[in-house]
Structure 1
Amino acid sequence: MQVINPLLIVIFIPMFEYIIYPVLAKFNCLTRPLQRITTGGLLAASSFFIAGFLQIRIENSLPQTPTAGFSQFGIINTLPCHLNLTGLRNITLESGEVHVLENLEADKTYRISFAADGCGNLTKAEDYNVTLASGKIQTMMVTSNSGNIVLKNLEDPLRTSETGTANIQFFFILHKNLKLQPTVNSTLIIKGKENIYFVPFDFEKYTSKGITIGSMTSMNILPGEYNLYLPVADSPLKEKVIQTDAKIGTFHVQNGGSYILTLAPINHTEKLGFHTYTIIRPNEISIFLQIPQYMVITAGEIMFSVTGLEFSYSQAPASMKSVLQAAWLLTVAFGNLIVVIVAKLQLFHRQSFEFLMFASLMVAVMLVFAIMAYFYKYVQQPQKENTVIDQSNTEVTSRENVFSNEAFGDDKM
């Protein structure tokens, strides 16, 4: 994306010079430098408005984090039937559904009751006391064992990767009577077409309920399709593990998504089921939607910066042309300084607000500039004539505008 701006500049400069400006001149539009500068500044402001509204759309697609004094509680139903929840709010989750309760009052202890609906003898409710911290998100995974509902408190999965890759967590829920019993040194293998990851497990023992829950710390992986392998026995050579272990399942992840992978018995049998739960939807907005705002700001940059440099040079007296151009470039430095200060102060908790603030400031400044430009009187620079060289005495003279310099003296003795 960073290549688009310089590439468009190379394309737009001759286009403006030979097509756009001549066409506008036929309608007597933007014939003066200050008119072009004003229009360029307003175009630049428009590009920030476009960026701001695009950022709002991006922010609305992201999970909302709780504000101070409030919290959120997420539930992931891994049961093969409906799950009824009472206590916080009365809701019913379908099998495989992920639900987040928002705007819950923080620093309070809630008593929650879970009950399965349609899972045969799995009807016994499991009560759970939860204290929600201010500004935090707590997530619970609901599974089962021997007719009881089992709850697993998860590391916060409701977050996206800062690098734009996919975020995954893996859990397996195993009963003691199952043949598949990984040990504490087991390694989870995630293998794609071009990438492979070896991830050790953390184990938690539920001895009273005869259940083992293995978990993997959340990690970021590149988007794509992966095969999942869980070794039955330890092996010091990872290459042998890949060749000898059976594949558990296949899953697909996309940029920006957050996923939970589970391996659990199906209906209390020895058969294991592999499921992928999408906790946060992947990125839905294409990066190419930035191209329109790049095109607008590039057009504004050409009308503003190129014309501004030309204006400062042509309207300055001969003795101050360099000074006036330096002053013009100094305004760019001050503009960059303002951006640095705003970024460091972190005045806004949303990037869209910052974009819209810059856009509003630019509109206000350009309106003031337009009023000043309306009353500006252009300096008519005299046209320079070609010089004539006298072959007889090799002295260079000018047809017009010959100035005398009193400081000049003849160097002849």
Structure 2
Amino acid sequence: MQMEYIGAYLRFKREQQHKDAGALCLSCNLTRMQLHSIEQGKSEAHPNTIKRICDYLNIDFIALFQHQEKYRELLEESFIALIYMRKDEQQMLMQKIEALHFEHSILYPQYLLIHLMYVAIHEGAVKKYQSLLKQCSYFIDVLEPRHQFIYYLYKGYYQMLSGQLEESLHTLCFVDGLSVLEHREILYSMYGRLYYYRREIVLAIEYYKKAYELLEKKWNINRLLATQCALAACYNRMKEYDVALQRLMDTLKLAKQYKNTAVIERTYYEIVMNRFMVRDYHSVIQLGEKAITIHHQPQYLYFLISYASVKENEMEKAHLWLKQRLKQDTNALLQQLLTYVYHMAHGTSVLPYLVELIQQLEKNQMDTCELYRFLLEDLANLYHDAGCYQKESYCLRKLMQTGY
């Protein structure tokens, strides 16, 4: 029997059910030392002993070992589909996997890892992601090295999404030190994203380029396109707007060719942001309206379009977008952004709203660095027009600190 898998699985189930180790030992005629040894996978136990533990924990002993070959093949297929970002294939395979109830199989650790990757790529639900990470941690020692590599990668990614940038860096450095050579292109992409969030853009570009080279060799088209878009976003953040725009247009063309909807969505968003930052409001409206029809998570597109509509004096259009989103959206930051535009559109004093908004954006610069910089310029201009030159000077100093 595969004691390392069985032991980890039994320990997980016991702790999940809040069953006391002492009570289990009494019921199954085991010493604590024997149970510990079984749960750690350190000693071979008689099948009857394992069955007694399974009965105590309401686990179907026979089901644990059924259909292993078929299950392994399905999990490996899913793993490859996730590595190569084949979206339709991933969804079809996950539906098959969910129907098989892997929680009753000895291959549950591998299933958990696949589920973790799927949630990270498709759902990004932080609480669910955190729960899966915790469950995976029970089995980390019994996973094969390439799967351990992926687990720690996605742990670093979770820390990144949670704003724990230092912790994420430590985790990625740990992954970098592992002797696993497979899938290092994903590690470099993660490094790129982390340094992008940390606003260390030169390093972000360096790592994205490393990832790009490896992805090109492996012909991993979907991740290649995502990396190309991420590189363009870096040039956007560096204020190299012409370079960024050209790269984004090239990426959009290829993403349409390969029917990669996720990259098409992200690229459209970055193009709209690019035009917004150079205050080309006509293009923001034109491209933003197109982007919003295909974007399943419009992020800040509603703000960009409504702001541009006010600046272009298309008040009817601005009110339409504001009416659609002001009462519906649960994103507190987006609500504040739209409230600012609402007061702009109505000609009321926006200064107090803008000051409050900038304070909020300062706390959340991972994703909104460009908006922060843009609105800081607006605030500096308002202070200048009001003759508050000292406050204007303070805003300009802040702007210089956000430069690259």
TM-score by structure 1 length?
A: 0.22
- Mark the structure with the bigger radius of gyration: 1
TM-score by structure 2 length?
A: 0.22
More strand by share: 1
More helix by share: 2
